[in-house]
Amino acid sequence: MKIVAPPSRSDDPCTEREALAKPGGAASRKTEGRTVLGKKRGEPRLQHIVEAAARDYDVPIALVSIVDRRREFFAARTGIDLVEAPREDALCLHAIKTPGQATVATDARDDRRFADNPFVTGPPHVRFYAAVPLLDRAGYALGALCIIDPEPRIQAPSLFNLIKLAREAERILDR
């Protein structure tokens, strides 16, 4: 698992169209977050994962997010009342564009991928953000396990435990 540096404007690793067109991917399975994956909302084992992630990384917000064609919904969450967000505002879009790689912003205000995002410029005022993509059995990104803090971090923490928790979430989502 490697940490991805912000890409330059011209070398986006995957366009949205490419991500949606992948056969077997979340969007092409017509899950739209309401069928198979939608049934995972409120899953106690996913809730345990986000609570463990928040505790392990001393952050107030942790999420298991699933991104579909129109929105990002939170299958499990701690520290935030939102249950979904419009896809265009989804921070986790950056994570799912790079399956197999963690996405980290130590201060989202200074990271061009996130600086203009409404969740950075307004509540919950995201500063530190780290996410590990959640993949299905075929290797397609469904969403991400992410941790969020309104305080920036001087350096990125080790993501070993976050990766381990993400693999556990994948097993739960894939059943």
Domain that holds residue 147: 15-173
Domain membership of residue 19 (yes or no) is yes
| Cβ atoms 156, 104 nearer than 8 A | yes
**Any domain includes 8:** no
Q: What confidence tens digit (pLDDT) does each residue in 26-61 have?
A: 443 433 333 445 445 568 999 999 999 999 999 999
Alpha carbons within 13 angstroms on the beta-carbon side of residue 71 total 13
Residue 10 lies in a domain: no
For residue 38, the domain's CATH number is 3.30.450.40
- Judge whether 65 and 144 are in contact, CB under 8 Å: yes
Say what the pTM is.
0.78
- The answer to whether residue 7 sits within a structural domain is no
Tell me whether residue 9 is in a domain.
no
What pLDDT sits at residue 43? 84
Tokens at residue 18, please?
Answer: 């490419």
Residue 143 resides in a domain: yes
Candidates 53, 65, 117, 120; CA nearest to 95 is 65
Residue 13, pLDDT above cutoff 70: no
- Rounded to the nearest integer, the mean pLDDT of the chain is 81
Domain count, the chain: 1
Domain contains 2: no
pLDDT of 42 reads 66
